[in-house]
């Protein structure tokens, strides 16, 4: 299975399927949507690029500003928001003769964003770079390409949207 939804009769990919409790989409609220909550934290280009740079090993503020290519205030706001959300953690450091500064590293919660960044890179390479991305990601041990896929806990095969059933989760309120 390719992971790309197969077109239905009119040529469009089939959507996810909603369980009986959610079949009437006008009767359930999206106010507690986890995707929306994530976007409240990762709602700027600076936030995504700071996280990218954390995965690439950047830790110091001035280096973030240089690598992200945005203003110091924009990077500062992104780091503050990410720190408040528990995505990055700041810790003080001081070089001899210099003032105390803060370096930032991903928290375990931040490290869980790796599949999202890999998926964004894959999508960008495929749809915005004609399949010729500027970077490739491979597993060090095997040399195989790294990719993000939607799958089940016990399988590696990609699952298309039309094979996914959406039902109320433990945090739902209808």
Half-sphere exposure of residue 82, counting CA atoms within 13 Å on the CB side? 32
For the stretch 109-130, pLDDT in tens is 999 999 999 999 999 999 999 9
Closest listed residue to residue 172, CA positions, set 34, 15, 1? 34
Residue 72 and residue 101: Cα distance in Å, rounded? 14
The yes/no answer on whether domain 30-166 falls in CATH 3.20.20.70 is no
**CA end-to-end span of the chain, whole Å?**
34
- For 40-50, b where at least 16 C-beta lie within 10 A, e where not — what string? eebeeebbbbb
For the stretch 60-110, pLDDT in tens is 999 999 999 999 999 999 999 999 999 999 999 998 999 999 999 999 999
Q: Is-contact 4 157, C-beta < 8 A?
A: no
- pTM equals 0.84
- The pLDDT confidence band at residue 3, using thresholds 50, 70 and 90, is very low
169: pLDDT strictly greater than 50: yes
What is the number of other CB atoms lying within 10 angstroms of the CB of residue 88?
24
């Amino acid at each position: 299975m390719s992971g790309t939804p197969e077109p239905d009769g009119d040529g469009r990919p089939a959507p996810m399927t909603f369980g009986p409790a959610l079949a009437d989409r006008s009767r359930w609220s999206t106010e507690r949507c986890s995707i929306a909550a994530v976007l409240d934290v990762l709602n700027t280009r600076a936030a995504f690029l700071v996280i990218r740079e954390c995965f690439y090993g950047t830790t110091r503020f001035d280096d973030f500003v240089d690598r992200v290519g945005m203003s110091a205030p924009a990077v500062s706001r992104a780091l503050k928001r990410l720190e408040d959300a528990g995505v990055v953690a700041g810790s003080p450091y001081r070089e001899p003769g210099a003032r105390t500064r803060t370096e930032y590293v991903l928290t375990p919660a931040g490290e869980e964003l790796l599949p999202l960044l890999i998926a964004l890179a894959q999508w960008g390479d495929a749809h915005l770079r004609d399949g010729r991305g500027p970077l490739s990601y491979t597993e060090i041990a095997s040399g195989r390409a790294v990719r993000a896929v939607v799958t089940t806990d016990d399988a590696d095969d990609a699952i298309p949207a039309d094979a996914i059933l959406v039902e109320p989760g433990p945090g739902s309120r209808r």
